[in-house]
Structure 1
Amino acid sequence: MSAVEHVSYAVSDGIATVTLNRPEARNGYTVTMADELAAAFDEADRDRSVRVAVLTGAGKDFCVGADLSAGGLDLSADNAETWHEPAGRCSMRIFAMNKPVIAAIRGAAVGAGSTIILPADFRLAATDARFGFVFSRRGLYPEGASTWFLPRLVGLGRAMDWMVSGRVFDAPEALAAGMVHALHEPDEVLDKAYELARELIRTTAPVSVAVIRQMLYRAAQTDSPFPVQRLDSRLIAGSAANPDTVEGIMSFLQRRDPQWTGKVPDDLPDHLPWRTDQG
C-alpha cells in the first residue's frame, strides 16, 4: 500500500515508515487518514521482513488535529455501540502491534496528533514540537483511548492538568513529564528515529519484543502478580527449545551481534492469552 490518499507507506532494511502525508493541510486528520493508518500498521505487522515501524508526518508539522473542512470530525455513526471513532482506529491498532513503533514528531501535534502517538513504544520529539489535548476547548471528549494511555505515561495529576485545561504545551514540558523520550533538532528527529530502529533490529529478538510490549500493557492491569508469573514460567519453560534464546546466549558469550531466526507473527507462542483478544 505504498500509494494511498492521505498516508504513505514504505519499507526499507526492515523498517516500515508510515507517514501522515497531507503537508499542504499540516497533516490535518481525516477519516480517510485514520483508515489508511490502520491499514498501514496492519501491513507492517503482517510483513515478516518488517522489524520496526516509524510513524511520522510530512512537512513541518506532525498533525494539527481533525481537519474539519475535510471530514476529520466524523460523527455520523449509524450505531454508536459498534462504531469506532477515527483516532482510535489508529491508536488501538498501534496498541495491538507485535512490532515496536517509534513516533518521530515535529511541529504541531495537537488533538489526534497527540492521541495517536500515545501507544507508540518510543516518542522522539523535535525541539519545536507542541502538544495539546484540546478537546475541552472544543466542547468535545478525548479520543483514541487517550484517557487510558496518558495517565500511564505521565501520571494522573499531569494528565488531569493537560486534559481538563486543554492547553497547548511545549516539547520540554512533554519531556519532563515522560510523554516523550528525547528531544532533537527538527531536521534530526526522523534520522534519530531510524537510528533507534536500526539499533532495535540489531540487538533485540523480534519474538521477545512482541511478547514483552504486550505484557507490559496487559500485565499491569491484573489484580495480582500471580497470573503474570505463571505466564512468565510457561514462557521461560519453553526457552530451552527456542533458537533465539540459544542465539542470544551464544552471541553474548562470543561477543558478536545476534542473528535472530524467529519471525513475527509466525513464531509467537501459541498460548499467549491475548492472541484471541479482538478488543
Structure 2
Amino acid sequence: MADIWGDAGGEPTILAEVREGVGVVTLNRPARLNAWTPDMGTLYFDTLDQLARNDEVRAILVHGAGRAFCAGADMSGLSGLTETGGFGQARDPRSYWFPMSIGKPIVAAIKGPCYGVGLQQALVADVRFGATDAKISGPYAKRGLIAEVGISWMLSRIVGVGHAMDLMLSGRALTGEEALAMGLINRLVEPDALFDEAFAYARAMAGECSPWSMRMIKQQLYHDLMRGFSPSFQHSEDLLQVAMQGADFREGIAAFRDKRPLDFSPLAPDLARLDPWPEG
C-alpha cells in the first residue's frame, strides 16, 4: 500500500493507496461494518482532498473493508443524544457534500449494508457500482429522524420523487437489483467481482479521459442541477470555447488522428476542487 492515512495511535479508519492512476480509498472499520464516526469522516474528507491534489491520481474509488460499505452512523457514539438533544462532539466544518466538490471522479463500490450516512456518501459519489448482496436503506423514519445531510435533495434527483418517497418514508432496505432498477446504482455485479469491476472502470477513466475534461464535466453536471436550462446551455457554450483552445483538446484529436495512446497532462493543482455552487 503506497500511502496510509489513519487515526493517531490506533488502527486507521481510512486506508488509501494510489494504483494505476486510481486513488483507492477503503473505509476501514470492518468489525463495525464501517460505521461512520466524526473522526472517520474528517479523515475521509482529508484523504479525498489529498488525492484531489495528487498528480498521480486521476480517478478515485471508494469501498468498504469486510462485508459492508458503511452501516451508517456508529450507534454506540449516539447513545447520549436522546438525553442531550443534540451533538455533543464538534462536527467537521466541511459539508457532508464535500466529495461533490472534489475535482476528480469518485466511484463508489457498494456491498452489504449501506445505510444512513453510508447511503448519503454513496449518493455524493459520482458513479455507483453495487453488489447483488447490497442492502441499501435510509432508516430515518424508524429512528424518529428526518432525511438528514441533504439526502432528500440528492436522492430525489437520482431516482425521482416517487422512489425517494418509498425509500425514505418506509425506511426499508433495497436489494441491489431494486437499486439498479430505480437508477440508484449504475451497475450491478456479483460480490466477488465488485472491486475488480469498479477498479477497472476507474482505471479506464484514469487512462483514457482528460483530467481537465472530467473535472469540468463533473462541475457542469452538479451546477446544472441547481439552475435553469438557459443559463446551463450558455455556460456550456462558453466552456466549449475554452476547451477547444486547450491542450487536452489538441491531444485528444492528435491521438485519434495518429492512432496512438492518449497522453493527457495531470489536473492543475488549482483545479483540485470544484468552484462554489451557484445559488438558485
> What TM-score bracket applies, with the shorter chain setting the length?
0.7 to 0.9
Q: Partner residue of 2:6?
A: 4
**Cα drift, residue 53 of structure 1:** 0.8
Separation of aligned partners in 1, 2:271 and 2:75: 43
Structure 2 SS opposite 1:200: helix
Separation of aligned partners in 1, 2:211 and 2:136: 31
Q: Deviations over 1:36-69 (max 9, x none)?
A: 1111111111112211111110001111111121
Q: Partner residue of 1:192?
A: 197
**Cα drift, residue 253 of structure 1:** 1.9
Q: Does structure 1 residue 68 correspond to structure 2 residue 75?
A: yes
Q: Partner residue of 1:245?
A: 249
Separation of aligned partners in 1, 2:28 and 2:213: 32
**Cα drift, residue 102 of structure 1:** 0.5
Aligned residues: 268
**Cα drift, residue 182 of structure 1:** 1.0
Q: Deviations over 1:217-260 (max 9, x none)?
A: 112321342x2233223222233431110011111222222110
Q: Partner residue of 1:34?
A: 41
Separation of aligned partners in 2, 1:72 and 1:255: 61
Summarize the alignment of residues 143-162 of structure 1 with structure 2, pairs less than 5 Å apart.
143-162=148-167
Q: Please list every run of 5 or more consecutive structure 2 residues that lacks an aligned counterpart in the other structure.
A: 8-12
Instruction: Tell me whether 112-121 or 237-246 shows the greater mean CA deviation.
Output: 237-246
Separation of aligned partners in 1, 2:104 and 2:211: 7
Structure 1 SS opposite 2:201: helix
Q: Partner residue of 1:109?
A: 114
Q: Which amino acid aligns with 2:156?
A: P
Q: Which amino acid aligns with 1:76?
A: F
Task: Find runs of 4+ consecutive structure 1 residues off by over 3 angstroms.
Answer: 70-75, 88-91, 264-268, 276-279
TM score, norm. by length of structure 2: 0.87
Structure 2 SS opposite 1:95: helix
Separation of aligned partners in 1, 2:5 and 2:122: 22
Q: Partner residue of 2:103?
A: 98
Task: Indicate conservation of the 8 Å contact 2:101/2:275, yes or no.
Answer: no
Task: Indicate conservation of the 8 Å contact 1:98/1:264, yes or no.
Answer: no
Distance 1:220 1:3, change over 3 A: closer
**Cα drift, residue 166 of structure 1:** 0.8
Q: Partner residue of 2:275?
A: 275
**Cα drift, residue 112 of structure 1:** 1.5
Distance 1:73 1:253, change over 3 A: farther
Structure 2 SS opposite 1:102: strand
Task: Indicate conservation of the 8 Å contact 1:42/1:93, yes or no.
Answer: no
Q: Partner residue of 2:10?
A: none
TM score, norm. by length of structure 1: 0.88
Separation of aligned partners in 1, 2:79 and 2:241: 48
Q: Which amino acid aligns with 1:27?
A: N
Task: Indicate conservation of the 8 Å contact 1:244/1:262, yes or no.
Answer: no
Match of 2:135 among 109, 117, 130: 130
Separation of aligned partners in 1, 2:87 and 2:278: 24
Separation of aligned partners in 2, 1:159 and 1:11: 35
Q: Deviations over 1:23-44 (max 9, x none)?
A: 1111111111111111111111
Summarize the alignment of residues 10-49 of structure 1 with structure 2, pairs less than 5 Å apart.
10-49=17-56
Q: Please list every run of 5 or more consecutive structure 1 residues that lacks an aligned counterpart in the other structure.
A: none
Match of 1:234 among 228, 235, 238: 238
Q: Which amino acid aligns with 1:275?
A: D
Structure 2 SS opposite 1:116: helix
Task: Indicate conservation of the 8 Å contact 1:110/1:132, yes or no.
Answer: yes
**Cα drift, residue 144 of structure 1:** 2.8
Q: Which amino acid aligns with 1:17?
A: V
Task: Indicate conservation of the 8 Å contact 2:55/2:266, yes or no.
Answer: no
Q: Percent identity?
A: 32
Task: Indicate conservation of the 8 Å contact 2:223/2:277, yes or no.
Answer: no
Instruction: Tell me whether 126-135 or 257-266 shows the greater mean CA deviation.
Output: 257-266
